[in-house]
Amino acid sequence: MEKSVVPFADELLIIGGSAGSLDVLLQVLPELRVPVSKAIIIVVHRKNINDLILTELLSAKTTVPVKEAEEKDPIQQNIIYIVPPDYHLLIENDKTFSLDVSEKVNYSRPSIDVTFSSAAEVFGNKLTCILLSGANADGVEGLKAAKRNGGTIIVQHPDSAEIPYMPLQAIKAIEADYVLNDEELKDYFARLNV
């Protein structure tokens, strides 16, 4: 696959991951350069404690501002939003965040499916979803919703995922637009602001 053909999200890029995804994030985020002409949301399964360790860790790896998403925050370009622990993140029609504490989806809150699906309805073909390493099938239904609404689907290549189950489930369930290994993901992030 020719790397240069991978398109960029027009408005919103959402990255979902679980076990094994942090290593990939720590590799790709240093490739970003300010300004990034889109918003980025990161949904990772994490313990339900209210701490800023993940935000601080990711902030140390990029010059792009990183913050936890807050209720009613307007989505702005050139910011990386982290979904807070123990909340689902929904996107409202006015492109603001809504935090939700309804039941877990795929044993997870935050759920990747919830955020992908919600964003797909609002952003349509201006959305790109990336699914990384993980040990369950969270994200698959959300990718289907994004695809139905014209979004672009990128899945980490299972051979390069620390835990390939999540990417494998996605590839089995939906035709991803792109399946990228770690080096290709780094290249994608390096060109996000081009």
Q: Which residues are catalytic?
A: 18, 45, 138
Q: How far, in Å, CA of 163 to CA of 34, rounded? A: 31
- 170 within 8 A of 157, measured Cβ to Cβ: no
Sheet holding 127-131, edge to edge: 66-68, 80-82, 39-44, 12-17, 127-131, 152-156, 178-180
* SS3 annotation, 71-133: CCCECCCCCEEECCCCCEEEECCCCEEEEECCCCECCECCCHHHHHHHHHHHHHHHEEEEECC
Alpha-carbon separation of residue 179 from 150, 163, 172, 185, 186 (angstroms): 17, 15, 12, 9, 13
Q: How far, in Å, CA of 127 to CA of 141, rounded? A: 15
Q: How far, in Å, CA of 191 to CA of 50, rounded? A: 33
